[in-house]
Amino acid sequence: MKPLETDTDPRVVGPFELLARLGQGGMGLAYLARWIPQDGLDAEQAAAYHVVEPDGGSGTPQSRLVVVKRIQPQLLDAAQARQRFAREIDSIAAVVSDRVPALRGAAPEAAEPWFAMDYVAGPSLHTMVKESGTFPVGPCAALGLALVDALRAIHGTGLLHRDLKPANVVLGPDGPMVLDFGLATLIEKRTSQAITGPGEAWGTWPYASYEQLHHFQDAKEPADVYSLGATLFFALTGRPPYPDHALPTPPSWNGVPPEFRPLLGQILVQAPSHRPDLEGLELGLYDLLAQADLTADIAVGQLKARVKTADLAPELPPEALTDHVEPVVRELARRAIDSDVTPDTPQGGRGPAYLPDADADAFFDFIDTDEIERAEADDAQPGVPKGNTPTVVQPPVAHPGEAVPPPADAAPQAEPEAIRTPTDHPPQSPRPSEDPSPAASQKPPRAALRVAERLREAYAHGGSL
C-alpha cells in the first residue's frame, strides 16, 4: 500500500474517497477507498452507479472500505479495453458468495471508468506463504474447502474464473476470498468466435491447466479445478507444481504431506476428464481431514489462527479508521457523481450501468491482445516478465529430431499420452465427513443478494443474453 500520487491520482472517484494506492498493472490501477454517504443521491443516480450500502446501514469505518479500480489513462481511448473492464464488473456482480467481494459501485461508461468492490483486510496467499511459511494439513484443507465454495458460486452463474492463483486469494478476517475477475468468461460462450488463436493462451502459467495453455477455447470447469489444486500445492510447498518443466512429468512431491498426495495426484493431470469435479474435490478434502483426525471446524479455526498470528494485513492509513469526511471531499464526491451520470440515463440506467451494448457473444469472447500486460509468474524461472494479468504464451517449435527445452515464459509442451496419477500414491475413494462445511451453511450477504437480483432483472429485460 502506497500513498496517492497527488499529481496523477484523483481525490475522489464517484462517491468514494481514494486513500492509498494498492497496486497497478498494464490494464488498471487499484486504490483503497472509502464510501462517502450522499444524502442527496437520488434513485436514478444510485441505480446508474449501482451503489450498494454496506449491510447494517452506515456501519463502521472499516465496513465502508472498498477497492476502486480504474483503467490506465493511456487505455481510455481503447474501446476494447473498456469492454474488457465492463466484463470484469459484470462478472463480479453476477457471483453471490461470501468468498467473493461484493460490487459496491460502478461507472463503466464514465469518461474515466471505474468500479468499487469490498476491501478484504488481509494478506494474499502468496504473501502469507512467502512471509510466514507453508501450511500444514488442517489449514490447507480449510483453504481448499473455501476455494471450492468460491468456484461453486462462480461456476453456478455459468462463469469460469480462469486465473485462480495464490496472488488472487486473500486471507481475510472471515476466511479466504477470491479476487480478480479480469479473465472471467461465460462457459457457454466458448465458441469459434473467440479471438484467441492456435498456440495462444491466457492464464498464469505455473497455475494454468494444459488445455488452457494449448486449447484455450476448450477450457471449462476442470481448468479452474486444476488451478485450485496448483494453488493448494503452493500452500503446502511454497512453489507451484511445475515451475520449470513440462506438465506430463509428475511433479516433485517433496514437501507435500502424504495425506494430500493422492488428491493432488488426481487433480494435477493433463486430461481434464481425469480430474475430480468440485463435489469430488470437496469429498476428498473431507476424507483427508478425517485421516488427520480433524473436523472442518477445527481446520477453519487453525487457518484463522495462523493468519491472525502472522499479522500480515496491510496497515491502513489513518483516514480509513475514522468517520470524519472533510467538507471539500464530500463536495468533490458530489460533483464527481453529477459529472459521471449522464442526463439522458433512464431510470435505473440501461439495466445496471455495467452492462455493455455490445453483442453478448463477441463481448464475452473478447480478448484484448494489444493492450494486455505480461502475466505474473510467481515462481517461474529467472527472467520471466512480471505483471498482474495473464501472459500470452507461444509454445516453442520442435524441428524433426530436435529436442527443444521450454523457455522460461513458455507453456508446457504436449506429450503423446496424458499424465497419470503417481503410482506410488494411487487415488483413493473419497468419503465424506459428517461435519458440513461451515462456509456452505452461511447465507449470502444481503448486499450481494441485491447485486445479483439487479443483474437478473437486467438480463431478463435486456434480451441480449
Amino acid, single-letter form, for residue 355: L
Distance of CA 83 to the CA centre of its chain: 18
pLDDT band at 237 (very low <50, low <70, confident <90, very high): very high
What pLDDT sits at residue 354? Answer: 31
* Mean confidence (pLDDT) of the chain: 74
- Could you tell me the strand order of the sheet in which 28-35 lies? 12-13, 16-24, 28-35, 65-71, 114-118, 103-107
pLDDT band at 22 (very low <50, low <70, confident <90, very high): very high
Task: Report the candidate in 228, 229, 224, 194 with the shortest Cα–Cα distance to residue 212.
Answer: 224
pLDDT band at 245 (very low <50, low <70, confident <90, very high): low
Specify whether the CB–CB gap between 144 and 228 falls below 8 A. Answer: yes
**Which one from 90, 163, 287, 340 is the annotated catalytic residue?**
163
Measured distance CA(338)–CA(366) in Å, rounded: 31
Q: Is 83's pLDDT higher than 80?
A: yes
Specify whether the CB–CB gap between 359 and 463 falls below 8 A. Answer: no
Instruction: For 166-216, write each residue's pLDDT tens digit.
Output: 999 999 999 999 998 877 777 755 433 333 444 444 667 889 998 888 887
- Helix, strand, coil content of the chain in percent (nearest 5): 35, 10, 50
Instruction: For 207-226, write each residue's pLDDT tens digit.
Output: 999 888 888 778 899 999 99
As to burial, measured by CB atoms within 10 angstroms (0-12 exposed, 13-18 middle, 19+ buried), residue 72 is: middle
Most confident of the following: 93-97, 239-243, 306-310, 341-345: 306-310
CATH 1.10.510.10 domain span(s) along the chain: 125-312+416-434
Helices (H) and strands (E) in the chain, counts: 13, 10
* CA-based R_g, the chain, Å: 22
SS3 78: coil
Q: Which CATH superfamily is domain 125-312+416-434 in?
A: Transferase(Phosphotransferase) domain 1 (1.10.510.10)
Distance of CA 206 to the CA centre of its chain: 16
Measured distance CA(186)–CA(444) in Å, rounded: 22
Amino acid, single-letter form, for residue 237: T
For residue 430, what is its C-alpha cell? 473419497
Instruction: State the alpha helices, DSSP H only, in 22-100.
Output: 43-49, 79-94
Instruction: Assess if CATH 3.30.200.20 describes domain 12-121+314-358+443-462.
Output: yes
Higher pLDDT, 111 or 176: 176
What pLDDT sits at residue 322? Answer: 85
Residues 6+ positions from 250 with CB-CB distance below 8 Å: 265, 419, 422
Measured distance CA(245)–CA(264) in Å, rounded: 18
Residue 37, Cβ neighbours under 10 Å: how many?
A: 14
Q: Verify whether residue 163 is a known catalytic residue.
A: yes
Average pLDDT over residues 147-163: 95
Amino acid, single-letter form, for residue 176: P
Residue 461, Cβ neighbours under 10 Å: how many?
A: 10
CA distances from 157 to 151, 184, 317, 377 (A): 10, 11, 36, 28
Beta-bridge partners for 185: 160
Q: Is 248's pLDDT higher than 80?
A: no
Instruction: State the alpha helices, DSSP H only, in 239-376.
Output: 261-267, 278-291, 296-310, 327-340, 360-364
CATH 3.30.200.20 domain span(s) along the chain: 12-121+314-358+443-462
For residue 259, what is its C-alpha cell? 495425506
Looking at the chain, the whole-number percentage of residues with pLDDT higher than 90 is 41
Average pLDDT over residues 342-347: 32
* Residue 296 CA neighbour count, 13 Å, CB half: 20
Looking at the chain, the whole-number percentage of residues with pLDDT higher than 70 is 63
For 78: left if phi > 0, alpha if psi spans -120 to 50, otherwise beta; the answer is beta
